[in-house]
Amino acid sequence: MHEFKYRGNELYCEDVGISTIAASVGTPFYLYSYKTLLDHYDKLRDAFSSVRPLICFSVKSNSNLAVLRALVKSGAGLDIVSGGELYRARHVGADPKKIVYAGVGKRRDEIADAIRAGILLFNIESKEELEEIQRVAASLRKRVNVALRINPDVVPHTHAYVATGKGGSKFGLDFETVYGIFASRKRYPDLNIRGVHIHIGSQILDAAPFEKAIKKVLAFIKSRRISVDYFNIGGGLGIIYSMEHPQTARSFAGRILPLLKRSGLKIILEPGRFISGNSGVLVTKVLYNKTTPRKRFVIVDGGMSDLIRPSLYEAHHNIVPVITDREAGRHPQKVDVVGPICESGDFLARDRLLPPVERGDLLAVMGAGAYGFTMSSNYNSRPRPAEVMVIKGKFYVVRERESYSDLVRGEKIPKELR
């Protein structure tokens, strides 16, 4: 469920008409619904309330400060993967004791910053990383809590680029290596190995692979007599982009809670997309219609530099008109919705049935709240779009559209070239 619905012939975000926002901020822009964001967080928290989990929102899915602040204010922790995300987390006043830090390539300075900040857990992805954290901890004279990320070798049915928990992936440690680390924990005198972590992939629609991975990890801990406090079961819950039928928070919890309860461990969840995905849309304007002997194109002012998911994963995002009044009696046409970028792969939709559109019409690309703005770039020297949030009947620009001077910020022409 989300709060982007038609009222009469206009698409609204909560109580605000989207064309009003577009008239004020220009296009393209990302638009977030505060209510939808919190609803999804609450759904997950309520479904898991019997184990009182720590829900660490995955910052990489949407790192806008207003989004993070809204969730942190509601009690969420954060799942980070870089020094930059730690910086954002601190900026919004996140409790360090609710921050977990994953990622295969943590640098020494990033590790030191996170130790100084006093985060809850590092999720360890390799033995050399563990050794590095031990060295940094020793030099800072701090005791540091870590969890070992296990690659449980299960295959979720999702896009290959977002499957992380099968053998051959760069993420996590195999069971034997994990056992070896626990057996030699004395080699890490400044580290407390307090947890195990899994994250098997993203946009997973069914609880079965989660169940399988959780069972494997719990059986491993039991059979090897490993003692930990935390079990971080990662993120990855799928959402509806078009015709998917994902598990609900409640049905997901129903399947895995019995396992988790039996374990007696403190549970951490790291959802990103489940919370932010359907809380945001990308609003873009039609620049031109173009018909070639083979195809019809709708050329819009948002492209792969703003939302790369269609190009990168062939991801399907529904695209709907913001105003629908001209549609009556006009047949939908099959079109490619493409951006202005000089790449054939620059499309938001291919062979999609859309009502006829005219220059200046606004389109909303749905389900763009996760991995939308955070994966945007300045390719083709395009300023990144504005981000806007509707909160209780008002809209707020929560990130200004970049300017041309932002594009060249930090660049320098050496004296020799003047």
Catalytic machinery residues? 342
* Among residues 33, 58, 82, 151, the one that binds ligand LLP under rule CB under 6 A: 58
* Among residues 35, 309, 382, 399, the one that binds ligand LLP under rule CB under 6 A: 309
Distance CA 356, CA 369 (A): 26
Answer yes or no whether residue 371 interacts with ligand LLP by CB under 6 A: yes
At its nearest, how many Å lie between ligand LLP and the CB of residue 223?
Answer: 25
* Secondary element (H or E) of residue 17: strand 16-17
Answer yes or no whether residue 270 interacts with ligand LLP by CB under 6 A: yes
Contact segment (CB under 6 A) with ligand LLP among 33-41, 186-194, 228-236, 345-353 equals 228-236
Answer yes or no whether residue 271 interacts with ligand LLP by CB under 6 A: yes
Distance CA 119, CA 415 (A): 44
CA torsion sign, 341 to 344 to 346 to 351? positive
Asked if the bond preceding 340 is cis, omega within 30° of 0, the reply is: no
Task: Using the minimum distance from each CB to ligand LLP, give the nearer residue, 77 or 235.
Answer: 235
Query: Judged by CB under 6 A, how many residues of this single chain contact ligand LLP?
Result: 22
Answer yes or no whether residue 284 interacts with ligand LLP by CB under 6 A: no
Tokens of 263: 């374990």
Contact segment (CB under 6 A) with ligand LLP among 39-47, 125-133, 219-227, 234-242 equals 234-242
Q: Among candidates 158, 230, 258, which has minimal Cα distance to 200?
A: 158
Distance CA 197, CA 150 (A): 6
Q: How many CB atoms lie within 10 A of CB 339?
A: 25
At its nearest, how many Å lie between ligand LLP and the CB of residue 16?
Answer: 26
* Secondary element (H or E) of residue 334: strand 333-338
* Among residues 274, 347, 373, 395, the one that binds ligand LLP under rule CB under 6 A: 274
* Among residues 33, 62, 203, 305, the one that binds ligand LLP under rule CB under 6 A: 203
Torsion on CA atoms 218, 260, 165, 41, rounded to nearest 10: -160
Distance CA 147, CA 168 (A): 21
Contact segment (CB under 6 A) with ligand LLP among 58-66, 333-341, 342-350, 407-415 equals 58-66
Contact segment (CB under 6 A) with ligand LLP among 36-44, 215-223, 264-272, 341-349 equals 264-272
Distance CA 179, CA 171 (A): 17
For the chain, counts of helices (H) and of strands (E): 12, 20
* Among residues 3, 14, 79, 85, the one that binds ligand LLP under rule CB under 6 A: 79
At its nearest, how many Å lie between ligand LLP and the CB of residue 102?
Answer: 4
Where does this chain bind ligand LLP (CB under 6 A)? 58, 60-61, 79, 102, 162, 199, 202-203, 234-237, 270-274, 309, 313, 370-371
